[in-house]
Amino acid sequence: MRVFLYRFAGFSGLGIVAFIFDFILLAFLKEVAGMHYLRAAGIAFIIATSFHYLAARRIVFKKSSRSYLAGYPYFIAVAIVNLGVTLGLMKFAVETIGLYYLLARPLVSSIVGTLNFIINTKLTFRASFFN
pLDDT digits (tens, 9 = 90+) for 10-49: 999 998 999 899 999 999 999 999 999 999 988 998 899 8
pLDDT at 34: 98
The sign one gets for the Cα dihedral 72, 93, 14, 116 is negative
**How far is residue 25's CA from residue 116's CA, in Å, rounded to a whole number?**
20
Cα angle 69-73-74, degrees, rounded to a multiple of 5: 115
Please tell me the number of Cα atoms within 13 Å of 119 on its side-chain side: 16
Residue 89 predicted with pLDDT over 90: yes
Residue 130 predicted with pLDDT over 80: no
pLDDT at 127: 87
Q: Do 27 and 73 contact (CB within 8 A), yes or no?
A: no
| Cα dihedral 100→106→109→113 (10° resolution) | -170
